[in-house]
């Protein structure tokens, strides 16, 4: 579990940095005068472009038989992205900063997760990925808490330069997260793998093929979390209240990730994954229907339950199914397929919001969430 803890520390520190920044981006863009469609474009391109890299970085780490250097490069890229946010004066550099930040994530995720899988046995992977997600989301909660403190210190009505000061502070934990990864103890291989089997639809295990098909369709309704934050602001919540609600989400996510992961080792992944997508549908329908800011707190808490039920357990399931010598490839493929839908999903969400109002993208996402729960119940 040593490598799980070290990668968890790296993710904790990186997420402190990222979540100091992430919930402020839609508010920063609004302060710069950018409309919701720009937010959808930025998040869609950033997340989807990064997702394309995950399968390639995972496969590269399989061929190289080294996860650590690839993961370090990815974490370093995310740090550089925050430098661009700090120097931004308009939405163009915000776009560039998010692209570089997500480019780094695209490089690091699959090798890091494969490293976790390599370091644990099949019967303990739910617990291992649950622990990693718990530390990751604990860092996210801490980052949001720091952001709340900085916003309250700087004043509620922030000017663009106030946001930039917070972006500067976020570089400290980002750099420490990169440094932590140098302590990973990776088992060295004498030789590199030559000629891995060609990755094709036919080569996928049947169960994995159907699982990836269902979650890829679901991804079309899974727009960026930025729209949840923008919806909360749209309902009349202050900047501090939006950040506090997002903190609640991360706190619930952090507290439940490890026990849900441990439980999945005992009872299997299927029931928990199906429940997670049902929670997603419930949350999004709630965001579509509510007109009361007070109800938003409950919705963010339930969204934390969804994340704890799904994100770590999906990776554990893929690691269980994937051939051992291609673990990085299949984990990367999963991340690519789930992330690539963020471009059309976020563009669609921005368009639906603009054309039919703020509730429209949440009706669409909620329906797809319930359909995904039904689909997984059938194929798993």
> What is the per-residue pLDDT across 313-350, written as a single tens digit (0 to 9) for each?
887 887 777 776 676 777 777 777 777 777 788 788 88
Whether 300 maps to a domain, the answer reads: yes
pLDDT digits (tens, 9 = 90+) for 122-132: 778 888 888 88
CATH of the domain at 151: 1.20.1250.20
Confidence of residue 2 (pLDDT cuts 50, 70, 90): confident
* Tokens 């329908």, located at residue: 285
pLDDT at 203: 63
Whether 250 maps to a domain, the answer reads: yes
Whether 192 maps to a domain, the answer reads: no
Confidence of residue 66 (pLDDT cuts 50, 70, 90): confident
d(CA 272, CA 267): 9
Number of separate domains in the chain: 1
DSSP per-residue string spanning 288-352: HH---HHHHHHHHHHHHHHHHHHHHHHHHHHHHHS-GGGHHHHHHHHHHHHHHTHHHHHHHHHHH
pLDDT digits (tens, 9 = 90+) for 138-174: 898 899 889 888 888 887 677 888 888 899 999 999 9
Whether 191 maps to a domain, the answer reads: no
CB distance 100 to 53 below 8 Å: no
* Element of type H or E holding 50: helix 36-64
Whether 195 maps to a domain, the answer reads: no
Residue 190 has pLDDT above 60, yes or no: no
Closest CA to 24 of 168, 236, 230, 223: 230
CB distance 2 to 183 below 8 Å: no
Whether 190 maps to a domain, the answer reads: no
Confidence of residue 189 (pLDDT cuts 50, 70, 90): low
Whether 197 maps to a domain, the answer reads: no
Residue 210: how many CA atoms within 13 Å on its side-chain side?
9
Other Cβ atoms closer than 10 A to 303: 26
Domain extent, residue 243, equals 2-184+202-379
d(CA 28, CA 242): 13
DSSP per-residue string spanning 259-273: HHHHHHHHH-SHHHH
Whether 348 maps to a domain, the answer reads: yes
pLDDT digits (tens, 9 = 90+) for 225-267: 878 988 998 888 888 888 889 889 988 988 898 888 888 888 8
Residue, of 8 and 342, whose pLDDT is higher: 8
pLDDT digits (tens, 9 = 90+) for 67-119: 888 899 999 988 999 999 998 888 889 999 988 988 888 888 888 888 888 88
* Tokens 């644990």, located at residue: 120
């Amino acid at each position: 579990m040593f490598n799980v803890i070290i990668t968890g520390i790296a993710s904790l520190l990186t997420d402190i940095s990222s979540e100091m920044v992430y919930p402020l981006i839609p508010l920063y863009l609004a302060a710069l005068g950018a409309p919701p469609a720009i937010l959808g474009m930025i998040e869609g391109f950033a997340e989807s472009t990064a997702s394309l890299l995950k399968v390639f970085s995972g496969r590269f780490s399989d061929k190289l038989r080294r996860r650590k250097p690839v993961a370090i490069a990815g974490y370093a890229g995310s740090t550089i992205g925050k430098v661009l946010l700090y120097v931004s004066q308009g939405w163009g550099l915000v776009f560039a900063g998010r692209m570089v930040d997500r480019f780094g994530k695209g490089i690091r995720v699959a090798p890091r997760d494969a490293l976790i899988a390599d370091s644990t046995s099949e019967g303990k992977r739910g617990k291992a990925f649950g622990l990693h997600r718990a530390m990751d989301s604990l860092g996210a909660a801490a980052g949001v808490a720091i952001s709340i403190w900085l916003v309250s210190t700087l004043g509620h009505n922030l000017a663009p330069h106030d946001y930039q000061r917070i972006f500067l502070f976020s570089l400290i934990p980002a750099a420490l997260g990169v440094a932590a990864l140098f302590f990973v103890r990776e088992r060295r291989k004498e030789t590199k793998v030559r000629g891995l089997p060609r990755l094709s639809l036919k080569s996928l295990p049947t169960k994995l093929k159907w699982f990836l098909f269902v979650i890829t369709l679901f991804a079309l309704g899974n727009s960026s979390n930025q729209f949840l934050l923008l919806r909360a602001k749209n309902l009349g919540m202050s900047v501090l209240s939006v950040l506090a609600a997002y903190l609640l989400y991360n706190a619930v996510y952090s507290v439940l990730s490890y026990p849900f992961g441990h439980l999945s080792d005992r009872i299997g992944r299927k029931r928990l994954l199906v429940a997670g997508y049902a929670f997603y549908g419930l949350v999004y329908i709630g965001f579509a229907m509510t007109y009361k800011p007070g109800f938003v707190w409950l919705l963010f808490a339930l969204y934390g339950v969804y994340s704890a039920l799904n994100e770590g357990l999906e990776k554990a399931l893929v690691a269980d199914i994937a051939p051992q010598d291609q673990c990085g490839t299949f984990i990367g493929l999963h991340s690519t397929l789930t992330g690539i839908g963020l471009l059309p999903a976020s563009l669609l969400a921005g368009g639906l919001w603009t054309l039919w109002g703020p509730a429209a993208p949440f009706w669409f996402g909620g329906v797809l969430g319930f359909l995904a729960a039904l689909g997984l119940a059938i194929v798993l």
